[in-house]
Structure 1
Amino acid sequence: MLGISKLLLNLQERNLEMVIGLFILAILFAIFTYRHTFPPLSKRKKTLLLALRIVALFSLFLVLSEPILTIARRHVQKPVIALLLDTSGSMNLKGTDIKRIEALQNLLKNDIFKKISYLAELKTFGFADSLIPMNLERKFPDSLGNATSIGDAIELVVKKLSRQNLRGIVILSDGANNLGEDPVLVARSTNIPIYTRGVGEYIPPKDVSIERMVYNDIAYVDDQIPVQVDISQTGFDQLKIPVSIKEKKNTLAQQNLNLGKSGATQTVDLTIIPKEAGLHRYDLAIPVLDGESVKENNRRSFTIKVLKSKIAILLISGSLNWEYTFLKRALEKDKNIELKTLVYGTKGQPVLGRFPQGEKQLSLFDILIFIDPPGFILKSHEKEIEDFVFSKGGSTLFLLGKEFMDTHGFMETSSLLPFDPAGRSITFSSANINLKLTEEGKLHPVTRLVENSEENEKIWSDLPPFLGVVILGSVTKDASNLAGFRNPQIPDVFSPGIVVRNYGKGKVMAITTTPFWRWDFLLWGIGKDNQIYQTFWNNSVRWLVVREDMDLINLFTDKKIYKGGERITFKAKIFDQNYQKIGDASVGVNIKGEALPDSELVNLSLDELGNYTATLRALPPGRYSFEGKVFRDGKKLGVKKGEFLVEEYSVEDSDLKTDFDLLKRIAEVSGGEYYQKEQIENLTGDLNLVEKEKQKTKEIQLWNHPLLLAIFVLCLSIEWAVRKRSQLL
């Protein structure tokens, strides 16, 4: 309902009294002028001329007094209820009698939703991995989504209806959330009550599925690569099935599995031996059996980056110490590492090995590891080390300690270390230091000690503390702090502990906490082993040795293979001739695929780290190719091509159970209600269907309006024409 609630005219001119006085005098003069005319005019014509003069003077008065007309309109908004319907793939599963989606359709026939639409405006949306408007009177979509993102659906509907009187959200779902934001956290932050009702039931379907694959994603030519596969089944006990790994059409490994008791998970160990270096894509498959309810989970794909030779590492230590001893032993355990050592004595002379002489000898190594290096070592080989990393694509790892305090000369001139030159005041603090993962560290391959994120964070929090730390200030803009600590000297500052960066064609890693060998030695004393210590160094070596594409244009997807329902993320790094990042380029990616009717264009935007990123919605299963074009100042810098695969296996297939407890928590934290079966009848009474009154105010600057000028000119023109026709002096 619309209505004018306020109409106000404000005059802004400071000398308003003088303007009004002049206006009155001008009108009196006009009246005096037309009181006696020559030749005499009729009263009607005099009145017309006087009226035209007064209107012209009034328009001039409005211009001089600078009036603003304020119009306020009152608008009463009808309450809005958002109805979110789960249209994901899990809704296609059958319960005792009917599918979950059919149970949902039956529930929508309840008169309760007609009552709500009468009392409020009912906005209906379907959600899976995205949000789409729906009409209750039309048929449900035939294509069900490959993922369920309840949190994203809540966020999107709140944003979409932000200007309306949204009084509540009703969610009808099986609760099987598997993508996007945590729906409980989102529900808590919306300040809108959410009412939920569980739909469907879980009866284990007759199915054989690949539950998990464990393998190393980096290997070497002619290495035996173990692939551990977990297979679960329901309803197919006592059958024998083949489990195979293929590359293209070639079967590389196969083993028969005798299926055990229904509901059990069994492990199969396979081995593949790559013969060529490069990125290899493998397909793991089990046959589709008669009567299976889900066939998409019978096939999985994975990639392994195969390197051509062993990793050559030079381990350099300022002295023969425990850090050197433990790290040397850990590196020697890896048969893919060819290790050479260099140890300096008390007089600064090598007692074991020697530093490579010349570029040719240095280029034989992939990684240089420095353990608490004294300043003279770094300073005397500064140019060779920087060239080894920046130009030749080698990598360096620095374990810093007390001896590193004597490196001021190197710190002042070198740009190799990933610390800000403006803040390189070096201090050493003897204190118990526990490292805490940063958000980037939670995902980085160096600091991911186990696959499960929550378990990984717990492992880091339980590790023995370090006894000292080199404090070097902030990191460079192109570096990433993976783990840090509260500065013992300035508790409010979170200082870097494990820092990585790309430097030219190579990589640099620096660790400021010491000693690291405590992760090995102390864990044995509490009944554990040194697996965490070993894993950390294995991760670090593999990250350092894997060469990223260091062309001036580096464009890629965050994965080579996606599950159905996963969103596609593009990333790009653009460099100039000095390998400095370019932040003012435009990057567009054109995507083509067998499942796309037309190609799609995605524009990447610059993030806070100086990289270009874009996240695309989930795509249908199939192979896709992309071509990225980079422009700067209207000039094309280059083109980059690539490809990725979306599996038939989707995130929706990974867990088919209903999760009504999640729906209960969403309702509880938002101030809404969760309904069991017939309790949905209480929904109308629980909804707070209150109208909301809004007032929209509009200000019009009359003095600046072109209509006033038109009226002024028109009135004077008509007056002049009448006076001339009447031969009036």
Structure 2
Amino acid sequence: MLDFLSNIAITVSGRWYLLTALIWLAVLVSLFIYRRTNPLVSSPLRILLMILRGSALVTLLLALFETQVTSSWQEDVPPLIAVAIDQSASMATVDQKGPRIEQLARALRQDLPQVWTGSMTQKYFAFDSRLRPLRPSELDSLRPSGDVTDITSALETIHSTLREKNLQAILLFTDGNYTRGGHPSRYAAESGVPIFCVGVGSTQPPPDLSITRVQANSFAYSGEETPIQITVTGTDLPTVRAAVQLIENDQVIASTTLQAAGSPFEQTVTLSWTAGGEGRHKLRVRVSGQAEELAQDNNQRTVYVDVLKSRLLITLLAGCVTPEISFITNAIKENLRYRLQTLVQRTDGRLYDRDGQPAALDSLDHTDILFAVNYPTSLTPDEMIHQVEKSWTTFSRPILFMDGAETDWKKLARWQRWLAIRTETLQTQPFSATVSLTQEGSQHPIMQIPGSGPVSASAWNLLPPIWVHHRIQGVRPGAQVLAMAAGDASRPDVQQPLIVVFSDGMVNSAALLASSLWRWALMMKGINNEDELYMVFFNNLIRWLQMEKKKELVNLSLSKSSYAFGEPIPIQISAYDVRFNPVANASVSLLMEKQGTSMTLSAAPAGNGLYEATFQPESPGEYEIKAVVQKDGALLGTATSLFSVGAYNEELSVRICQRPLLQGLAAVSGGRYVSADSLYSLRGQLPAQSLSRVRSRRLDLWNHGALLLFILACLIAEWWLRKWKGMV
């Protein structure tokens, strides 16, 4: 390595003396070639030709020896101060010191210029949920409106962006009310950069009445009363008397009076709401404002409740008492959407409830789903057969039929048009059988068991044998066979449909052509297998049975009902055909409406009947979304939902400047806390040390395109001059 003036270094891959000798040789060759020319040319031209030839050869040698030139110099970097300004909604509130936006503007416009000294440079940033750079000209036009304050993320981003630029300190303008990102002091203690916190706002709570919490079930049942709990807090108010109201569709549907003798206080009141029709309902909770309040933007909240059809009544008709009844009951009772009415036939042919009371035949008119388990039997009276038939004819109830040893298939034939199977039987000799999924069944939602793989085959193969009592001639045209019953070792050649489903698009029907399915639950637990296949299977089956045409074939899912402004909204749509098979390659459009404005976007396929989209709202407000699913130009179904963006701002739940938090943040980082009206006291307090550092730059001559161009240029110029003069 050779050093020139201690700031330029030249490095070659070979030996210096060899390169030097070759360079001298190249120069001498160039001089020798052009010492005499034919024809004779002027001396200046000969010198130029020597220079061109010599330059080309020398440069080529430098490239062959992989020459590198490194230059270094000393650089003085002035001190940099980052100014981070909180632009969340809480910075726009009003307190005892007046509007915070005015406090902030006064500090930035009047006091901040007095803080700068010497050679300090500044970079300005605004932050709420994310950090963005600001131009100095924008400081007079700040409009705080963010739904989220993430102080930690802002500090991390500033530090990672400016740490190579002599960042000396961060000047943080905020009220300290962070709502995301965790306690900022945890990061500040490790950053190594002092943070000077400028507290904006009063540390005294203003006169304020606010709704701080609304508790309601995320779903309710149509026609049933649902409690809504509202928590109201008050600060710096005299005796309070306020109306707390529950509002739907701009109508007050429930109200109560809240009274408090002085403040601070926190009270919780409960209002009742009776859910109407199915779907997502928007409820607004409001507490009347007080004259002393400086602002009333936190006096109301919006809550969304999904209203489901009133609890589905499942009536189980059993031909006799069997263990199956208890296991079905246990599988269903965990789901609050269902009520189970069990009616068991006795030897007199009548049905009795669990209390041993005779069941009224007209109770079937109120049933949503009918289970016929080992029913009807030879003891079942024709009157009961007729009553079930009449109920189905009038109300088109979905049905699950489970075969049993006592089932009378001749009487069952009267219900043929509602069943998924044909009621003609070949024999009544029972046999033991295992479950074998069909190809169609492996894809059907009823048979999908979470955690058992996409086809669930491994879970079904582990099940113990069950009993098949009747062999059937076939299934109904259009029915789907989801599983087959395969005979055991004594009857290996016997197979028949075991689980069959049918849907005409209006009513669904299913058949389980075996008994002792309870063994799936009992015996699996006996071998310490905790697989909940039995429970999951029955709940899948019930869900499929109660699906209504076009109404639930398309489902629209949102992760929640309220989003912060700026937060992306993931949307998922599931689409099924009338046989509840996932629909692929459908056209899914989403219509967003908000206060008279609308926009449309498309959802992309995600596989297995799922479609996904992400919506980025351009403004806060209340939105209605409608999903329209079409397949081959035909409407498959629609689904709607409601959600809000920025409807409730957690920023407004705390009205004071968090001075203790900001003091702690400044202390652990080596900075200092001041209030916005004392900002001028930081003059001379900010670190302002310039940074001297050595910078270097390396040029690889051997790997530089310009080097090749230079060699070619020299050789081409030499060739052209020789040709011009006719030299040989």
Q: TM-score range by the shorter chain?
A: 0.5 to 0.7
Equivalent residue, structure 1, for 2:661: 662
**Pair 1:127 & 2:127 matched:** yes
Q: Deviations over 1:590-645 (max 9, x none)?
A: 9775599x979999999xxx99786958x643234668999xxxxxx999986532
Aligned partner of 2:283: which letter? Y
Matches within 5 A, 1:63-78: 63-72=63-72, 74-78=74-78
Distance in 2, Cα, partners of 1:68 & 1:262: 77
Aligned-residue offset at 1:18: 7.7
* Residue 538 (structure 1) aligns with: none
Letter in 1 for 2:84: L
Distance 1:355 1:4 in 2: 100
Partner residue of 1:622? 621
**462, 466, 474: which one aligns with 1:409:** 462
* Residue 278, structure 1, aligned to residue 279, structure 2: yes
Q: 1:286 to 1:717 in 2, by over 3 A?
A: closer
Match of 1:247 in 2: 248
Contact 2:117 2:684 in 1 (8 A): no
Q: 1:167–1:689: 8 Å Cα contact kept in structure 2?
A: yes
1:645: which partner in 2?
Answer: 644
3-state DSSP of counterpart to 1:211: strand
C-alpha contact 2:105 2:140 (8 A) present in aligned 1: no
CA distance in 1, matches of 2:575, 2:201: 53
CA distance in 1, matches of 2:648, 2:662: 25
| Letter aligned with residue 340 of structure 2 | E
Q: What amino acid maps onto 1:278 in structure 2? A: G
**Pairwise mapping of residues 171-186 of structure 1 onto structure 2 (< 5 A)?**
171-186=172-187
1:460 match: none
DSSP 3-state at the match of 1:297: coil
SS in structure 2 opposite 1:57?
Answer: helix
Instruction: Quote the Cα distance in structure 2 between the aligned partners of 1:557 and 1:4.
Output: 68
Q: How does 1:1-12 map to 2 (within 5 A)?
A: 6-12=7-13
Give ranges in structure 1 of 5+ residues lacking alignment. 343-351, 365-377, 399-404, 417-467, 473-496, 509-540, 631-636
Residue 570 of structure 1 is matched in structure 2 by: 570
Q: Which digits, 9 at most, give the CA deviation of each residue in 1:110-145, with x for residues without a partner?
A: 867534353422223333344344466742524444
Q: Tell whether the 8 Å contact from 1:6 to 1:73 is kept in structure 2 after alignment.
A: yes
Q: Go from structure 1 to structure 2 and tell me whether the alpha carbon gap of 1:556 and 1:81 turns closer, same or farther (over 3 Å shift).
A: farther
Cα deviation code 1:382-412 (max 9, x no counterpart): 759995x9635599799xxxxxx9998349x
- Write the letter of the residue equivalent to 2:61: F
- The 5 A counterparts of 1:406-485 are 409-410=462-463
Encode CA deviations 1:455-497: one digit per residue, 9 max, x unaligned.
xxxxxxxxxxxxx99699xxxxxxxxxxxxxxxxxxxxxxxx9
1 CA distance for matches of 2:527 and 2:696? 60
- Cα-to-partner distance string for 1:203-244 (whole Å, 9 max, x where unaligned): 433333223222212221211111122233457666654433
Cα deviations by residue, 1:36-55 (Å, 9 ceiling, x for unpaired):
44454444443333233222
Report the secondary structure of 2:654's partner residue.
Answer: coil
Which residue in the other structure is 2:196 paired with? Answer: 195
Separation (CA, whole Å) in 2 of partners of 1:218 and 1:627: 20
Equivalent position of 2:90 in the other structure = 90
Q: State the AA in 2 paired with 1:65.
A: F
- Alignment of 1:391 onto 2:393: no
Letter in 1 for 2:171: V
| Offset at residue 558 of structure 1 (A) | 2.4
Q: Which has the larger radius of gyration?
A: 2
Q: Supply the distance in 2 between the matched residues of 1:611 and 1:646 (Cα, whole angstroms).
A: 22
With over 3 angstroms needed to count, the CA separation of the structure-2 counterparts of 1:644 and 1:723, relative to structure 1, is same
Contact 2:171 2:197 in 1 (8 A): yes
User: How many residues are treated as equivalent by the alignment?
Assistant: 567
Matches within 5 A, 1:508-587: 556-562=557-563, 567-572=567-572
Q: Is the 8 A contact 1:213 1:228 kept in 2?
A: yes
Local SS of the residue matching 1:213: strand
Offset, 1:248 = 1.5
Cα 1:698–1:290, aligned 2, differ >3 Å: closer, same or farther?
same
Work out whether residues 26 and 58 of structure 2, in 8 Å CA contact, stay in contact via their aligned partners in 1.
no
What is the TM-score with the length of structure 2 in the denominator? 0.60
The change in CA–CA distance for 1:727 and 1:271 in structure 2 (over 3 A counts) is closer
How far is the alpha carbon of 1:186 from its aligned partner? 3.1
Written as runs of structure 1 = structure 2, the 5 A alignment for 1:684-723 is 684-685=684-685, 687=687, 689-693=689-693, 695-702=695-702, 704-705=704-705, 707-723=706-722
Is the CA contact (8 Å cut-off) linking 1:296 and 1:648 kept in structure 2? no
Q: CA separation of 1:614/1:502 partners in 2, compared to 1, >3 Å: closer, same or farther?
A: farther
Conserved 8 A contact 2:280-2:641? no
Provide closer, same or farther for how the CA distance between residues 148 and 4 of structure 1 changes in structure 2, counting only shifts above 3 A: farther
Render the CA deviation track for 1:513-538: whole Å, top value 9, x for unaligned: xxxxxxxxxxxxxxxxxxxxxxxxxx
Q: Please give the per-residue CA displacement for 1:291-350, whole angstroms capped at 9, x wherever unaligned.
A: 5322222222111112214257899xxx99xx9999899859x696437699xxxxxxxx
After TM superposition, give the deviation of residue 162 of structure 1 in Å. 4.3
1:153 aligns with 2:154: yes
Note if contact 2:435-2:460 (Cα within 8 Å) is conserved in structure 1: no
TM-aligned CA deviation for residue 35 of structure 1:
3.0
Q: Check if 1:48 corresponds to 2:54.
A: no
Within 5 A, what are the aligned runs for 1:349-360?
none
Q: Is the 8 A contact 1:588 1:604 kept in 2?
A: no
CA contact (8 A) 2:91 2:144 kept: no
Q: CA deviation at 1:273?
A: 1.4
Shift of 1:169: 1.5
Contact kept in structure 1, 2:239 and 2:259, CA below 8 Å:
yes
The residue matched to 2:298 in structure 1 has which SS? helix
SS for the counterpart of 2:116 is helix
Q: Percent identity?
A: 24
Structure 2 Cα separation of the partners of residues 11 and 380 of structure 1? 80
Take 2:288 and 2:38, find their aligned partners in 1: how far apart are those partners?
Answer: 113
Question: Is the contact made by 2:115 and 2:683 (CA closer than 8 Å) also made in structure 1?
Answer: no
Q: Which residue of 1 aligns with 2:340?
A: 338
Call closer, same or farther: CA 1:258–1:695 in 2, change over 3 Å. same
**Is the CA contact 1:331–1:337 (under 8 Å) kept in the aligned structure 2?**
no
CA distance 1:709–1:83, change in 2 (3 Å):
closer
Q: Distance in 2 between matches of 1:701 and 1:628?
A: 62
Tell me if 1:205 matches 2:212: no
Letter in 2 for 1:664: Q
Residue of structure 1 in register with 2:364 after alignment:
none
Q: Tell me the alpha carbon deviations over residues 2-49 of structure 1, each in whole angstroms, 9 at most, x when there is no partner.
A: x9974333334x699888766655544443333344454444443333
1:224 corresponding residue in structure 2: 225
Looking at structure 2, the residues matched to 213 and 409 of structure 1 have their Cα atoms a distance apart, in angstroms, of 47
Q: Would the aligned equivalents of 1:310 and 1:338 in 2 still touch at CA under 8 Å?
A: no
Specify the SS of the correspondent of 2:695.
Answer: strand
Distance 2:333 2:558 in 1: 33
- Matches of 2:119 and 2:574, distance apart in 1: 56
Q: Which residue in 1 is equivalent to 2:168?
A: 167
Change (3 A) 1:672 1:339: farther
Deviation by residue 1:57-98 (Cα, 9 ceiling, x = unmatched):
234334443433334454432221212233433344445454
- Counterpart CA distance in 1 for 2:75 and 2:583 is 52
Quick one: which amino acid aligns to residue 244 of structure 2? V
Alignment of 1:266 with 2:251, yes or no, is no
Cross-structure match for 2:420: none
How far apart, in 2, do the equivalents of 1:386 and 1:605 lie?
Answer: 21
Question: After superposition, what is the alpha-carbon deviation per residue over 1:329-373, rounded to whole angstroms, capped at 9, x for unaligned?
Answer: 9859x696437699xxxxxxxxx9997899975599xxxxxxxxx
Q: What amino acid does structure 2 have at the position aligned with 1:558?
A: S
SS in 2 for 1:282: strand
**Offset of 1:655 from its aligned partner?**
1.7
The superposition leaves residues 144-190 of structure 1 with CA deviations (integer Å, 9 ceiling, x where unpaired) of 44443222322332244244222221223222222344323332443
State how far apart, in whole Å, the 2-side matches of 1:502 and 1:83 are: 57
Deviation at 1:280, TM superposition (A): 1.6
| SS of residue matched to 1:567 | coil
Give distance in 2, aligned partners of 1:684 and 1:580: 69
Give the whole-Å Cα distance in 2 for the aligned partners of 1:56 and 1:601. 63
Report the CA distance shift for 1:590/1:127 in structure 2 as closer, same or farther (over 3 A).
farther
**Structure 1 range deviating more: 275-284 or 71-80:** 71-80
Letter in 1 for 2:118: Y
Partner amino acid, structure 2, of 1:285: R
Paired residue type of 2:77: Q
| TM-score (norm. length: structure 1) | 0.60
